[in-house]
A = this chain, B = another copy of it.
Amino acid sequence: MKLASLKQGRDGRLVVVSDDLAWYADAGHICATLQAALDDWAQVGPALELLAVDLRNEAIPRARFHEHDAAAPLPRAYQWLDGSAYVNHVALVRQARGAELPESFWHDPLMYQGGSDGFLGARDAIPLADEDWGCDLEGEVVVVTGDVPLGATREQALDAIRLVGLTNDVSLRNLIPAELAKGFGFLQAKPASAFSPVFVTPEALGDWWRDGKLHRRLLVEVNGAPFGRADAGEDMTFDFGTLIAHAAKTRALGAGTIVGSGTVSNRDAEGGPGRPIADGGVGYSCLAELRTVETIQSGAAQTPYLGTGDTVRIWMEDDRHHPIFGTIEQTVG
């Protein structure tokens, strides 16, 4: 089942979307918003699944689904927790600034509490008041949970995953060092993230979803050029069950909690830093990683951060090259 929220009010209007993303059926008679559905998933989830079957069978009224009409599936959420599960990415960033990677980073996940009071839709512009802030994209996989009890195990956490999607976790790189030094986490450095037009149930992903990971390539373009195609199922040191259990160690998590993977990143097949796609590598899911590789190789970053008018695209394809979650496609400014 694929779900989206059409732009309407602060919380959008819940719709069920066809597998090919061409059509939607209104779900308002079942549940007004996705948050309300997550609040009462045991009742509402099966009713939405029946609606999805009817939509597939063309047994109910349907209308054309346009991705630019979609808000973030949760236009605002009660919680957004972003991990750094691809430790390869963290190791590269550390290497570039000559800092050692603490051994603990391989078994104790990095995760920050992100702002969740207002997210961007997949086609919304990225607001940027100052180019000197160093605006970057971050292509990530996310999951949405139901209620997770305090002290949940990895297995309980995996059972609580209701939906899977993609995000562009917009980052202001030049504001990060000062906030890291303060130790209180990211506040100004992490403005609103954007999410894929639809979120998908794990069941509908079939074999692509296994072991708490999404086994598909994350495709990233910057200004129309291929930039990344890392496999989200590879080199993910912490699966989503582990990330969720980490967050639930000292507190319960409410339904509608969004948990992010951190920037998807693969080790290079030959062992060194990842290569650009043009050089036969899988590329990158954020500019910072390429800049890091440039720094390691030549002493300085060459690729600039995003400026006004730059565009980014982030998506994932099925075997017929159709986007699974729709496409995040944003212009800066």
Binding site for B on A (CB under 8 A): 10, 39, 76-79, 81, 84, 110-118, 127, 129, 133, 150-151, 172, 175, 180-189, 191-192, 246-247, 249-254, 256-257
Other than the given A127-B150, A185-B185, 12 more pairs (CB < 8 A) read A78-B78, A79-B115, A79-B116, A111-B187, A112-B184, A113-B114, A113-B187, A183-B183, A187-B246, A188-B250, A188-B251, A191-B250
Interface hub of A182, A246, A250 (most chain B Cβ within 10 A): A250
**What are 17 A-B residue pairs whose CB atoms fall within 8 Å in the complex?**
A78-B116, A78-B117, A78-B118, A111-B187, A112-B184, A112-B185, A113-B113, A113-B187, A117-B254, A117-B256, A118-B252, A129-B151, A185-B186, A188-B246, A188-B247, A188-B250, A188-B251
Bound complex: CA A65 to CA B104 (Å):
50
Whether the pair A191, B251 counts as a contact (CB closer than 8 A) is yes
Q: What does DSSP make chain A's interface, helix, strand, loop or mixed?
A: loop
CA distance A206 to B67 in the complex (A): 49
Q: How close is A139's CB to chain B, nearest CB, in angstroms? A: 19
Q: In the complex, A175→B108 CA distance in Å?
A: 13
Cβ A81 vs Cβ B187 within 8 A: yes
Chain B residue contacts of A10, Cβ below 8 A: 39, 254
Instruction: Tell me the smallest distance from the CB of A158 to a CB of chain B, in Å.
Output: 19
Q: Chain B residues near A117 (CB, 8 Å)?
A: 78-79, 253-254, 256-257
Contacts of A182 in B (CB 8 A): 110
Residues of chain B lying within 8 A (CB to CB) of residue A188: 246-247, 249-251
Complex CA gap A36/B246 in Å reads 32
Residues in B whose Cβ lies below 8 Å from that of A112 = 113, 184-185, 187
With a CB–CB cut-off of 8 A, which chain B residues contact A186? 113, 184-185
What separation, in Å, do the CA atoms of A16 and B19 have in the docked complex?
47
* Cross-interface CB contact of A129 among B187, B250, B257, cutoff 8 Å: B250
> Once the chains are docked, how many angstroms separate the CA of A251 from the CA of B188?
8
Task: State in angstroms the CA–CA spacing of A57 and B85 once bound together.
Answer: 59
Q: Across the two chains, which residue of chain B brings its CB closest to A40? A: B10
Give CA–CA (A253, B181) in the complex, Å.
24
